[in-house]
Structure 1
Amino acid sequence: MRGLSRASLAEVEERFNAVAGSADLGSLADELFAVADLFDREHGLRRSLSDPARPATQKAQVVRGLLEGKVSNAALETVVTAVSVKWSGSGDLADALERLGVVAAAAEAEAQSKLDDVEDELFRFGRIVASNVELHRVLADPAVPAQAKRELLGSLIDGKVAAPTLRLVTQLVVHPRGRSLDRGLDEFGNLVAAQRQRLVAVVRSAVELSEEQKRRLATWLRTSYGRDVHLNVEVDPRVLGGFSVRIGDDLIDTTIAGRIEEVRRRLAG
């Protein structure tokens, strides 16, 4: 988010932080996801509640009438604040609520000492889906009913991953909101990592890295970027040797395959 929406998001986050402390974080995440999805479906309602010309008190009254008694006080106060501030576009309102749902799920994982597990599980789920064409087709197909997708996810990962992981994956699969599953998993993974102010690095190596190699690489990246870095390591024989590290738009490529490709580019030029 940029400009006006970024400032508004900061204000909503401040209110969220003030009310989330005593809430059931898993339920709060589900409630914020549900409201974001409601605003996505009901375009007229979303436009009305994000209209900067409409008085904030009036919009807050509409939300209270719509949600009071149906969601927790923490969710209600977060949504009331969200409709009371101004957004650059109406879609930013739903985006902000979904983002805070992810933050609530990440806080739930941290409270359960499972934040590392959730980061790893989101990454591994993405690799599994990417390697299974039929699974990817079913999960990404808008014609497949939401309940069928929920049941498929339940059979695949329920009881095998942390509860916040299942919650986040279900949100992405059932309510993609215009994103590919890969992009959604990256977005959610970065938000989960940000719970500890960490960056996420995707490491591709021809062979599995030892724990000592991972520790040294993480230390080097932390020194280079000034922040802790969570490593998602992907074994890929195509890299031939060495490894590559991608953090956001930054790519550090020491692979033999990368060097060969660089030579090819230079020769072609």
Structure 2
Amino acid sequence: MTVPAGIRGASAEALATLSSQLEGAADAATTGAELFSVAAVLRAEPALRRIATDVSILPEAKSGLAEQVFGSHVSAATLGLVTSAFSQRWTTARDLADVLEHLGVVATVTSTGADAGRLADELFAFASAVKDNPELRDALADQSRSQADRNGLVRSLLEGKALPATIALAEQSLSGSHRTVDVALTAYQKVVADVQGKGVAVVRVARPLSDADAERLAAALTRQYGKEIHLNVVVDPQVIGGIKVEIGDEVIDGTVSTRLDDAGRRLAG
């Protein structure tokens, strides 16, 4: 189970409990969208957030408050998760919204079923487009533009080309709950891999890998790491030749450019 950064102690225990409850949600796409909305309300209403995480208030009273506030706005499955969340203990007040948003991501990913691999590829492609296009990155990060306006920009880029789940997560990445859009999209890709039971490798090469080469590399990495590895391939002319693989904090660098740099440093020394 992927645990969001900073979630620890009582909040991590609450996440584990709620994750088990989420597995029974019938309409995962609806649950995901509704959890995003609930998390947004909690971030916008600090008084509600404080009451919901106040250990001096009985859990039954807090669950009743959740039902009163959200009962007419969300499905029964989502309401069950939210009332349960209000009854949990939390390490910090902000963890409640962060965990509900994370569960929304998990639900959205789960809603894709067999298309989870396509979702991973689409999120990676969108994240790469944001990184490589400063104008797009600035437009998506511009807080002077309304959320609806920025969501419209995302839809103009992805609608008709990407899964509904990809669009939903791309829009959620604009919510400001993560430091940047890029950080949010990276976190979502990790959730996709976790839901699939896979690891993720970013592979940098000078030219596209053939299907056969990609399959051989994925198989080799799967053997090495003991679980299936999903490849995100980046074509980078600066690599010159060879290959660079990044898995988490580990880097396997067999590129020609790196070997040339090393040789240059040795000659200079």
Cα shift readout 1:89-113 (whole Å, capped 9, x = no counterpart): 1111111111111111111111xx3
For 1:218, the equivalent position in structure 2 comes to 218
CA spacing shift, 1:263–1:148, aligned 2, 3 Å: same
1:2 to partner: Cα distance: 2.0
Distance in 2, Cα, partners of 1:268 & 1:101:
53
The 5 Å alignment of 1:1-269 reads 1-18=7-24, 20=25, 22=26, 24-110=27-113, 113-173=114-174, 175-263=175-263
1:265 to partner: Cα distance: 6.1
CA spacing shift, 1:261–1:87, aligned 2, 3 Å: farther
Amino acid at match of 1:102: V
Distance in 2, Cα, partners of 1:71 & 1:265:
61
Q: Is the 8 A contact 2:116 2:196 kept in 1?
A: no
1:264 to partner: Cα distance: 5.7
Amino acid at match of 1:255: T
TM-score, normalised with respect to structure 2: 0.93
Q: Is the 8 A contact 2:22 2:107 kept in 1?
A: no
Aligned positions, number: 263
Distance in 2, Cα, partners of 1:158 & 1:25:
20
CA RMSD after TM alignment: 1.6
Q: Identical aligned pairs, as a percentage?
A: 38
Distance in 1, Cα, partners of 2:186 & 2:244:
17
CA spacing shift, 1:56–1:265, aligned 2, 3 Å: farther
Distance in 2, Cα, partners of 1:47 & 1:136:
34
TM-score, normalised with respect to structure 1: 0.93
SS in 1 for 2:196: coil
Distance in 1, Cα, partners of 2:266 & 2:61:
62
Amino acid at match of 2:35: L
SS in 1 for 2:160: coil
1:50 to partner: Cα distance: 1.3
1:3 to partner: Cα distance: 2.3
Distance in 2, Cα, partners of 1:234 & 1:159:
24
CA spacing shift, 1:267–1:107, aligned 2, 3 Å: same
Distance in 1, Cα, partners of 2:193 & 2:266:
37
